[in-house]
Structure 1
C-alpha cells in the first residue's frame, strides 16, 4: 500500500507535465522589409530608366528625361546604333574570348584546387600562399609586364593575348579549394580501391560533388570576362579585335564619326540603346542561373 501511494502522485505529475510549445521562426520586421524594398528600388530604378529611355526619341530624352509616353516609343535609337556602331563584332569577339577563356578557367582551376585540397607535397602551403598573394596585386601593376610579354611573343591584337593572361586566376583556385576540401576523403579512397586513377577520381567522383560550387564559379567567371575592360582596351587596339566593352567605351566617337551633325541627344539615345543590348545577356544569365549561383556561394563558403 505504501508503495502504490508513493508512485501514484509521481506518475500523475509526469503525465501532467505540459509539452513545451514549439517556437516558430520570427518573421522579419516590417521595417527591415521596407528598407530592403527601398534598397531594391534604388538599385533597379536606373536600370529600368535606361531600358525605357532607349525607346524614346533622342530629343525627348534630353528635354524630359523622367517622362514616359508609350505613344512616342520607337526603335530609332536601336536601328541607328546598329548602323553606326560595330556592336556585332564586339559581341563576336567577347563570345569567343568568353567561351575559350571560361572553359580554361573551369577546367584547370578545379584541377589545381584538387591538388591543393587533397594531396600533400613539398612546399604545398608556401605555393598556395604565393598564389593567394597574387590576389593582392592590382591589375594595373601587371599591365606593363604583360604588355611587354605579349609584344615579345607577337600576340598584340590577337585572341591569344585576350584569352591566356589571367585564364587561371588565384580566386578561382581558392574558391574551388574551399569547395573540394569538403569532399570526404573516404570517397577518394573507395575509388582508389576500385582501381580508379587520380584523374578518374577527379572526373568521376569529385566533379559531380562540386557541381554547385563550379556553377557559382562559372557565373562569376562569365561576368568577369564579359565586363572586362582594362586589359582588352590595352592589348586589342584594332577595331577588328575590340571586345564589347571596348566598343561601348568608344561608342560616342563611332557615332559622331559615322554620322554628320550628330548631337548630344543622338549620342545619348544610341548609348542607352547599346547599353541595354549589352545588359540583356548578363541579365538573362543571372536570372536563369540564380539558384545555382546562390548554391555555389554557399558551397564556396565551406571552411577548408
Structure 2
C-alpha cells in the first residue's frame, strides 16, 4: 500500500521550487525596474516604480526581432525534420530484423560519445564546400537527425507489442500505414517529450550558429543575445553599466518566455514521455 508523502516532503519540495523559481522572478522583476535600482538595490522591487524603459531601449539598440524570426524558422523546419525522420529510424531499429542491425545501431550510439566541438571543424568545412555558410541550410540540416532522438524513439517503440503491428498488416495496412495509424498514436507521449527536448536544444543552441553564420541577417536569438552588450554600447555612446544591465535583463526575459510557455503547455506529455522512454527495449 502506497503511503502519502508526509508534510516534510511538501516543505522540502516547496523550498526547492522557490530556489528554482527565484532567479526567474528576479530577472523578470529587475527587467522592469529603473536601471539605477538594479545596481543600488538589486534584491528589492517596488511595483509602483515599474517601467518599460529598458524594453523600449533594448528594442531600439538590439536586432532581437531578427533573432526571433531566424530562430523560429530553424525551430519549425529542423524540429519537423527531427520529429518525422527520427521516429521512422527508431521504428526500423526496434521492429525490423535485418542483417547488421545491431552493428548499425551501435554505430549510431557511438556518435553520442563524440563531443560537439570535435564535429564543428568537419561540419564547417562541409558547409563551406557546399557554399552553405551564412545560410539557413547550415543552421538547419546538421544535427536535424541525431543519435539521441533515434535512440529515444527506438526505446519507446520497442515496448509496442509485435502482435499489434501484425494485426494492422493483416487488415491490409502498408508498412508506412502501420507506422502512421498504429505506432504514432501509441507513442504520442514519447514524441511530445522529444518535441520539448528538441525545441529546447534548438532554441538554446549557440556554438554551431555562431560558427556557421557570421552575418546579422541569419543570426539566431542566442547569437544576438551573446552580442547584446556590444550592440548596446555601440549604438549608445556613454551607456553606463546600469543601462546595459537593464537592457540585458529585458532581452533575457523576453527570450525566456517562449520556452516557459512551451514547457508549461506540454509538461504533462513531457513527463509521461520520459517515463515511456525509460522502458527497456
Structure 1 window deviating more from structure 2 (188-197 vs 256-265): it is 188-197
Structure 2 portions without partners, runs of 5+: none
Q: Provide the residue aligned with 2:265 in structure 1.
A: 288
Could you tell me which of 14, 18, 30 is aligned with 1:37?
14
Structure 1 window deviating more from structure 2 (34-43 vs 161-170): it is 34-43
What CA deviation, in whole Å up to 9, does each residue of 1:196-246 have, x standing for no partner? 111111111111111111111001101110000000011011111100000
Q: State the Cα RMSD in Å.
A: 0.9
Could you tell me which of 125, 131, 144 is aligned with 1:167?
144
The 5 A counterparts of 1:56-67 are 56-67=33-44
| Structure 1 residue ranges, 4+ long, deviating more than 6 angstroms after superposition | none
Q: Provide the residue aligned with 2:63 in structure 1.
A: 86
Alpha-carbon distance in 1 for matches of 2:74, 2:53: 31
Alpha-carbon distance in 1 for matches of 2:46, 2:57: 21
Corresponding pairs, count: 281
Q: Provide the residue aligned with 2:218 in structure 1.
A: 241
Q: Provide the residue aligned with 1:137 in structure 2.
A: 114
Alpha-carbon distance in 1 for matches of 2:177, 2:47: 59
What CA deviation, in whole Å up to 9, does each residue of 1:19-57 have, x standing for no partner? xxxx5x322233332222222211111110010000001
1:126 partnered with 2:103: yes
Larger radius of gyration: 1
The 5 A counterparts of 1:1-304 are 25-304=2-281
Q: How far apart are 1:104 and its partner, in Å? A: 0.2
Alpha-carbon distance in 2 for matches of 1:61, 1:272: 10
Alpha-carbon distance in 2 for matches of 1:34, 1:144: 49
Alpha-carbon distance in 2 for matches of 1:26, 1:119: 43
What CA deviation, in whole Å up to 9, does each residue of 1:247-279 have, x standing for no partner? 000000000111111111110000000000000
SS at match of 1:67: coil
Q: How far apart are 1:125 and its partner, in Å? A: 0.3
Alpha-carbon distance in 1 for matches of 2:229, 2:38: 16
Alpha-carbon distance in 1 for matches of 2:166, 2:4: 45
Alpha-carbon distance in 2 for matches of 1:286, 1:50: 18
Q: How far apart are 1:193 and its partner, in Å? A: 1.4
What CA deviation, in whole Å up to 9, does each residue of 1:90-129 have, x standing for no partner? 0000000000000000000000001000001011000000
What CA deviation, in whole Å up to 9, does each residue of 1:39-79 have, x standing for no partner? 22111111100100000011111111111111211100000
Alpha-carbon distance in 1 for matches of 2:47, 2:200: 33
Q: TM-score, normalised by structure 1?
A: 0.91
Q: TM-score, normalised by structure 2?
A: 0.98
Alpha-carbon distance in 2 for matches of 1:81, 1:97: 24
